[in-house]
Structure formats: structure tokens, C-alpha cells
Structure 1
Amino acid sequence: MADTNKSGPPDIEDIQKTLEKQIADLRKEITKINKSISARSAEMLDDASEQASDFYDTAASRASRTAQQLRSQAQSVSEAARENPGTTTAVVGVIGLLGFLAGLAIGQSMNDTPRRWYH
């Protein structure tokens, strides 16, 4: 009678088939992992895009409101200047004089040698 019970060393073909099955299983797992990573990346990209869009919308809205306020204030200043030309001229003159004096003071303080106002 032939001994049908394999108690001896494993057959090389059996080992090869086992390894090929394990490799096929690993490839399937890698494919699943790649799909999962791809899906998660797409979700993250969508989230980032949505957040950027929200940020842009908020910034655009704020910029629009700020520009409107600046236009309104500029119009108010312009109307006040047209209604009071003498006052406007005096204010601009005083601001110019203060700027000139500040420039002189800064120029004097930055110069190492003191200047004398004589010949």
C-alpha cells in the first residue's frame, strides 16, 4: 500500500503556490490601501479647497466693506473741504509747516556736527 500521508519535507511546488498566494493577497491589500489613501487625499483636498474658498469670500466681503467706508469718509472730507475752503487751506498749511519743522529737527539730530547760523 502506498503511503498517502505526507509527513516528509514539503514539496517545492506547494511552497511556491503558497508564496504566490501570499504575494497575491499582499497585492490586493496594497491596492486597498492605495484606494483608501487616494480617497482620503481627495477628501482632504476638498476640505482645503472649501476652507480656502470660505477664507477668500470672507476677505473679499471685508475688503468691499472697507473700501465702501473709505469712499464714504473721503466723500465726507471732500464735502467739508468744499464747504470750508479757508479752514481747509489753514489746516493744510499748518500740517505742511509741522512737517517742515519735523524734517528740520530730524535733520539736525542726525547730523554729528552742530550747525551755526552765522557766516
Structure 2
Amino acid sequence: MADTNKSDSPNIDDIQKTLEKQIAELRKEITKINKSISARGAEMLDDASEQASDFYETAATRASRTAQQLRSQAQAVSEVARENPGTTTAVVGVIGLLGFLAGLAVGQSMNDNSRRWY
């Protein structure tokens, strides 16, 4: 029986050393994977930042063009209003009257049925 125990001891030590070596290799692999994931995350962040910057530039350009068009159209309307003050007054008056009538209609529709005029 003493021979059996002696032969088992080196075998257990060999197994333990093999397992420790495998664990060390796995740790190295995990470190490599973590570095790879970190690098890929940084690349994705850079790509997302670049896309956001491009989107912002496009939106800013479009907003600038839209503002410029609105200014030119407002100038055109202003010039027409200056050239035709009577027509402008009539148009503004009609729009005001239509707004007043629309408000009156909405107000009447929101009142109780008992307060309506019959």
C-alpha cells in the first residue's frame, strides 16, 4: 500500500501543475480578449462620434439654408406689403376676422348644451 500512495503523489502534482498551466493560459487569453474588446469599443465610439459629427454638420447646413430662405421670403412679403398698404390692411383684417370667428365657433362648441342659443 505504501507504493500506491507514492505513485499517486507525483500523479496529483502533475495534474495540479497541468491545471495551473492551463489556468495561466486561460488568463492570458482572457486578457487578449479584453484588450480586443476594448479596442473594438474604442473604434465603435470613434465611428459613432464621426457619424454624429457628420449628422450635426448636415443639420446645421440645412438649418442655415432654411433660415436664409425664410429671410428672403419675409423680405419679399415685406416689400409687397410696403408697396400695397391698402391690400395688406384688408388681408390682415380678413385673417383677423376669420380667426375671431373660428375662436367663437370653438368657444361655442365647448360650452354646455344648456347655455347654447336656440
Q: For residue 80 of structure 2, what is the aligned residue in structure 1?
A: 80
- 1:45-83 residue CA offsets vs partner (Å, 9 max, x unmatched): 111111111111111111000000000111111111111
- Normalised by the size of structure 2, how large is the TM-score? 0.85
Q: For residue 4 of structure 1, what is the aligned residue in structure 2?
A: none
Distance of 2:98 and 2:70 partners within structure 1? 26
Q: Which moved more, 1:12-21 or 1:27-36?
A: 12-21
Q: For residue 19 of structure 2, what is the aligned residue in structure 1?
A: 19
Q: Quick check: which one's helix share is greater? A: 2
What count of residue pairs does the alignment treat as equivalent?
A: 109
Q: What do you get for the CA RMSD once the two structures are aligned? A: 1.5
User: Where does the alignment leave 5 or more consecutive residues of structure 2 unmatched?
Assistant: 1-6
- Normalised by the size of structure 1, how large is the TM-score? 0.84
Q: How does 1:1-119 map to 2 (within 5 A)?
A: 8-9=7-8, 11=10, 12-111=12-111, 112=113, 113-115=115-117
Residue 26 (structure 1) shift: 0.7
Extract structure 1 runs of 4+ deviating beyond 4 A. none
Q: Secondary structure at the match of 1:115?
A: coil
Distance of 1:32 and 1:52 partners within structure 2? 30
